[in-house]
Structure 1
């Protein structure tokens, strides 16, 4: 089992370009797995972890409802926001500046073959990171992602998640609001959940700006511990 993960921080990049890059890495792993199965080749499968920040974009998961996007095509153009229907689970979400987006592209055969556990580990990574800022975050029953004050009238989501998996290979991932402009969430029903607010780390801490590089380091630290992995 290969627990080494090739790490790439690709900076600010268009969603579609990043999606295509993910697909290339994802399909490369699948090709090796298929070859191993057909030819008993015994080849090691690689793992990847991407950090990226996207320009303003709304993405709709394959089970999502287009009615959860509250803007017309014209309004999207006016606001310079792109929109894509994509092949992850979940409903609609927003990505944009001030948000740390992480895409682990892993062969779970190298770790554990359990998608439920995989999602819980991603949530735990974020929960442990936020705890370092004295933010008490939790899961919300039946709702993937990370929340503050879950189960109360003040519940608000700070990190959205949506993944795709095939033959135990993952893609897509999580989006943690660190310095996000929350106004962009007003134009969607985030994750298709009505009446629930969205927040960002800088808002919760009462700061103008949080050091995003510092947050990334904490996320990676907790990821390596949980997955017993090593970044290269």
Structure 2
């Protein structure tokens, strides 16, 4: 979801830069080249200035800007086609945003010290520390019928922390994207609890390093 949004934002930024070129450039070729250069510089900045996973969204944003330069290299000579491209892209981004807003999954991080009613979530936290070999996720029903997903990394990841990057739905699958990093956490078994307003039948939890976690039996 993050990368999709960054690409769409890149499209809008590209449209904005293309419009600004009207202030000082007349030829369509020069306008396209300027937007292309901005997109390339954005990608290079994401790689060499920001770097790593943090820079990837800005690289995708740069791809969106470059896409605009490609589109107007084909359609920029016709005023009618320019209007069509602008109208279509702006409407598409607006409709996509509205659809995503009304269908987004609400999620939050459950504090481990927070009293929870439901399927003994608090006792499961303790079980994970007593048996640090447990790795994977387990689902619970928590307050007001909401769902909870508890993910444990296992003893091999002791000292690490877990950050939730995004939660999205893909058909009948709830996809939870996380990032793990070492920060001298005192937990023998690193754990995170995620509250959600709904869960799909299939659950996929994926780390940025490509690791996927299975359900605890």
Would you call these one fold, judging by a TM-score over 0.5? no
Relative to its length, the structure with more strand (as a share) is 1
TM-score, structure 1 length as denominator? 0.30
Relative to its length, the structure with more helix (as a share) is 2
Higher relative contact order (CA 8 A, sep 6+): 1
